Structure 1
Amino acid sequence: MEKLRAQLDELISRLENETELRQRLDDLLSVFPFNEYEYIISTLLGLDKLSLDEYYELRDEYISRNMFLYVFEISAPRGFGETWAQGHLKELVPELVKPSRKRDHNYSGQYDFYLDEKIRIEVKASRAVDFNSRESLPVKALSSDSNKSFDMNFQQTKPACCDVFIWVGVWRDVIRYWVLSSDEVANNKYFSKGQHRGNVGEGQLHLKDDNISEFAEYEVKPNCLLGAIREAYQRQMKSQG
C-alpha cells in the first residue's frame, strides 16, 4: 500500500489543480467499493494523467506485491491458524493426513497432521504486521522487504505433544516456512515456557524482525517441505537417543 500511495502521490503532484484534489481527498466520504484510491485513479484517468495501459501496469504491480493480502482479511484466529494454514499445507504436501484415534490410539487433538504412520506434526502460523500500528490487519500487513518491526507469536506450543513443528509466516507478497523438531523448539533460547498458568509443557516463541535470521537453517522452500519434515523427525529421534 505504501508504494501505491507513493506512486499516486507522484501523479497527483503533476496536476495543475493538485491542491484542489488533495482538499477533496481530505473531505472524501468513502463507502465500499468507492474509496480514496478509486477516486484518485478515476480522476487521473479522466484528466488523461494516467493512461489505461499505465493503469493496468499499476494494477498488475500492486497485485504481485499483495498476492497474499487476502490472508490478512481472515479475522477469526481459528479460521486463519487451522482452516487456512492447515489447508494450505495440505495442498503443498498431500501426503499429510489428519490424525484420528484409528491411526493413533493416543490421539486426543494434541497435534495437526500425521505422516508416514508415525510422524506427529504441529502447525503454527502467524502474519507479519506493523508492530507499532493500531490499524486493521490488512492495513498494517507488511511486505517482505519492509523495514518495520513485526512480532509473529507462535502460541500454545507444546513440544511434548508432537515430533515436528511447521511454522508458516505470511507477508503481503510471500509465504515462508520453517520446519523444526520438537526438541529444537523446546531447547531454543527464544522459547518461553508456561504461557498459561497450569498448562505444563506449553509455551510460546516470538519470531521477530530482529531474530528471524537466527532461524535460517530451518527455513525451507515449499517444494521441499516433505523431505524437511522427515529430516526433522530423524533429528528428533536422534536427540531422544
Structure 2
Amino acid sequence: MASGEQIRNGIFSLYTRRFGSVAEIMIQKLLAFKKGLNQFHDLYDPHQALRVEVKFSRGQRKEDSINEENVLQVLENVSDFTSRMFPSTEWHKNKFDCNIQQVKPSEFDLLYYGVFFSDVVVIFKLTPDDLTKAINYSNKQHKGNVGEGQFHLNNKTYEFHLENFFDQKLTYEELGEILKFHSDEESNVKIVHSGK
C-alpha cells in the first residue's frame, strides 16, 4: 500500500475533477454512504435518508496574482505544490484561501467539506440552514446562477468553522486504510482514526 506521504502528494497533484472524486470516495467509505440518487448531489446517507454533497480544497499558501509587470518573474519562479503546502496547525501563519463553490443548498441535506493540509485532512459538516452571513456565504457566485453560492475557508474564517462545524480529521495513513476497502460490506468496518 502507498505511504501516507505518497497518498498526500498524489492528492495534491490531481486536477480539479479527479481531486473531487477522491474527496467523494473518502466521505463515502468513511461514513458508509451510497452513491447519490441523482446527478444533483454526490452521495446518499441510507441510515438517515439524507442527500449529501462533498466539497473539498487543498490548503496551500497563496501566490502573487499575475499582472503585466510581474508575469515573467512569476513564470520563472513557479513553485511546486510541496513548497506551498503547510500543516493544519499553522493555518493562522500562512495566507491561504480555499473556495468552497458551486454550493446548491436546495440539492442537499448535508454538506461535508474541508481542507487537505500537508499533515491531515480536516473535515467539516453543515446543513443548508448553516449557509448564512455568519460564514460569509454568498448566493451570488456567477451571473445567472440562481440557487448556487460559495464561501471561503481562509485566515479570517477558518477558526469559526473549526469552532462550529468541525466533524473529524484523518491522517493520510488513516485515509489510505479507508480507501483500501472496496465493497459495501468492507466499508462498514470500523476504522479507528484521530477524530476530534
TM-score (ref. length: structure 1): 0.57
Q: Check whether the contact 1:67–1:172 (CA below 8 A) recurs between aligned residues.
A: no
Is 1:200 the counterpart of 2:146? The answer is yes
Q: Aligned letter for 1:124?
A: K
Mean Cα deviation higher: 147-156 or 63-72: 63-72
1:89 aligned counterpart, secondary structure: helix
Structure 1: gaps spanning 5 or more residues: 1-62, 101-106, 224-241
- The structure that is strand-richer by fraction is 2
Residue equivalent to 2:116 = 170
Partner of 1:123: 54
Q: Which has the higher helix share?
A: 1
Partner of 2:16: 77
Q: Distance in 2 between matches of 1:211 and 1:177?
A: 15
1:66 positional shift: 8.3
Aligned Cα root-mean-square deviation (Å): 2.3
Report SS of the residue matched to 1:87. Answer: helix
Conservation of the 8 A alpha-carbon contact between 1:65 and 1:143: no
Listed one character per residue, the Cα deviations across residues 95-121 of structure 1 (whole Å, up to 9, x for unaligned) are x01123xxxxxx3x1111111262011
C-alpha distance in 1, partners of 2:169/2:61?
25
8 Å contact 1:129–1:141 — kept in the other structure?
yes
**Hey, what does 2:81 align to over in structure 1?**
137
CA distance in 2, matches of 1:190, 1:137: 27
Whether contact under 8 Å (1:67, 1:174) holds in the other structure is no
CA contact under 8 A between 1:143 and 1:172: conserved in structure 2? Answer: yes
* Cα distance change on mapping 1:188 and 1:158 into 2, 3 Å: farther
Preserved CA contact (<8 Å) 2:109 2:128: yes
Structure 2 unaligned spans of 5+: 65-77, 171-196
Distance 1:187 1:115 in 2: 27
Residue of structure 2 equivalent to 1:217: 164
Task: Report 1 or 2 for greater relative contact order, CA contacts < 8 Å, sequence distance ≥ 6.
Answer: 2
Residue of structure 2 equivalent to 1:27: none
Against the structure 1 CA distance between its residues 204 and 65, is the aligned structure 2 distance closer, same or farther, given a 3 Å change threshold? same
Count of aligned residue pairs for this structure pair: 151
Please give the alpha-carbon distance, in whole angstroms, between the structure 1 residues aligned to 2:36 and 2:127. 18
Q: Distance in 1 between matches of 2:135 and 2:36?
A: 30
Aligned partner of 1:111 in structure 2 is 41
How far is the alpha carbon of 1:166 from its aligned partner?
0.4
Tell me the amino acid that sits aligned with residue 80 of structure 1: F
Distance change in 2, residues 1:138/1:153 (3 Å): same
Give the match's secondary structure for 1:68. helix
Moved over 2 A (4+): 63-70, 132-139, 186-189
Contact 2:113 2:125 in 1 (8 A): yes
Q: Which has the larger radius of gyration?
A: 1
Contact 1:169-1:176 within 8 A present in 2 as well = yes
Letter in 2 for 1:123: V
- Kindly provide the amino acid, as one letter, of the partner of residue 184 in structure 1: D
Determine if contact 1:128/1:170 at 8 Å carries over to the other structure: yes
Q: Distance in 2 between matches of 1:152 and 1:163?
A: 22
Q: Is the 8 A contact 1:85 1:168 kept in 2?
A: no
